[in-house]
Amino acid sequence: MRVVFAGTPEAAVPSLAALLASTHEVLGVITRPDARSGRGRTLHPSPVRVAAEEAGIPVLTPASARDPELRETLAEWAPGACPVVAYGALIPPALLDLPAHGWINLHFSLLPAWRGAAPVQHAIIAGDEVTGASTFLIEEGLDTGPVFGTLTETIRPTDTAQDLLDRLSEAGAGLLVATLDGLATGQLTGRPQPADGISLAPKLEVADGRLDWHRPAYAVDRLVRGCTPAPGAWTTFRGERLKVHPVRPLAVDADDAAPLLPGQVRVDKRSVRVGTGAGAVELGDVQAPGKRVMAALDWARGARPGPEEVLGG
């Protein structure tokens, strides 16, 4: 089948690579415009743009998917389908009927669970034990279209959002190609999503990564892992933001000392522990403003938190 691929971040690159290695013909790629990042705020192309240009595939970077020139180009290319993986913008209704088989989205959830932009992050934060990936036909509703295929993936106790997304993006690439294979031969039809089990996964903002030390240790652990690497989990110390990397939850404070209060810090020779609403967590790496990422012990030796000080206070 002749296809035009739409995707932007690193998680979309395995799908583009799988399509290029398949029997389908990739006519071109649509991706988000170059974006500024890093300390110098310099412009960088998306990972999908880099991969497409290395493969010699034409690349479109419209500022908006509603750009009339995008529709004109797609009409000229006349793709049979447009596979989509984390493109980063909604496909407008005017484009939905342009490919014969429509726009086929690879979504990293078991729909109808976690519809939206951050399904992997929300699955971890909610404590799900199993998630997966789904291919479905894009409609005007948010991730509501009929599903063509799914795969499941276990969420491991130490998974960050990046760990899980890496596995799903690799496994999902095969699912996307298989879906296009089935559509090309006419052997695959979508099935409507059930009305039960719907949940939403909106994009996480920086404020969503703020830790509430009054919550149980397991909830703190999930929020940190779900927000790693983006938007990042954080707390405050002496009025400044302290970024927190994955922690180790402790059901109870294992030593014989008095239980820690929420946010209270205890430093010994081997670890830095922080009290929560139930149990404690052992900090891994942290990052203070303007500093590099460092082991929590190194941070604590320099910061010397006092017995009355608490994180997040």
- pLDDT 10s digits, 84-96: 999 999 999 999 9
Alpha-carbon distance of 235 to 311, in angstroms, equals 6
User: Locate tokens 């989509």: which residue?
Assistant: 84
Mean pLDDT, the chain, rounded, equals 95
Q: Confirm whether residue 112 is marked as ligand binding.
A: yes
Alpha-carbon distance of 275 to 95, in angstroms, equals 52
Q: Confirm whether residue 262 is marked as ligand binding.
A: no
Domains, the chain, in order of start with CATH, read 2-185 (3.40.50.170), 206-303 (3.10.25.10)
Can you read off the two tokens belonging to residue 239? 């009025």
Using one digit for the tens of pLDDT, what is the confidence trace for 236-246?
999 999 999 99
User: Locate tokens 């199993």: which residue?
Assistant: 130
pLDDT average, residue stretch 104-123: 98
In one-letter notation, the amino acid at residue 63 is A
Q: Confirm whether residue 223 is marked as ligand binding.
A: no
In contact, 263 and 312? CB cutoff 8 Å? yes
User: Locate tokens 């750009």: which residue?
Assistant: 67
In one-letter notation, the amino acid at residue 44 is H
What is the reported pLDDT for 252? 62
If DSSP codes are grouped into helix, strand and coil, which group holds residue 262? strand
What is the reported pLDDT for 231? 97
Can you read off the two tokens belonging to residue 151? 């795969």
Is residue 211's pLDDT more than 70? yes
What is the reported pLDDT for 186? 95
Residue 308 confidence class, pLDDT cut points 50, 70, 90: confident
Q: Which residues pair with 241 in a beta bridge?
A: 236
Residue 163 confidence class, pLDDT cut points 50, 70, 90: very high
What is the reported pLDDT for 257? 67
What is the reported pLDDT for 254? 56
Alpha-carbon distance of 245 to 228, in angstroms, equals 7
Can you read off the two tokens belonging to residue 40? 């110098």
Using one digit for the tens of pLDDT, what is the confidence trace for 245-295?
999 999 665 555 678 999 999 999 899 999 999 999 999 999 998 899 999
Q: Confirm whether residue 96 is marked as ligand binding.
A: no
Largest CA distance in the chain: 73
What is the reported pLDDT for 176? 98
Using one digit for the tens of pLDDT, what is the confidence trace for 21-75?
999 999 999 999 999 877 678 899 999 999 999 999 999 999 999 999 999 999 9
Alpha-carbon distance of 299 to 235, in angstroms, equals 14
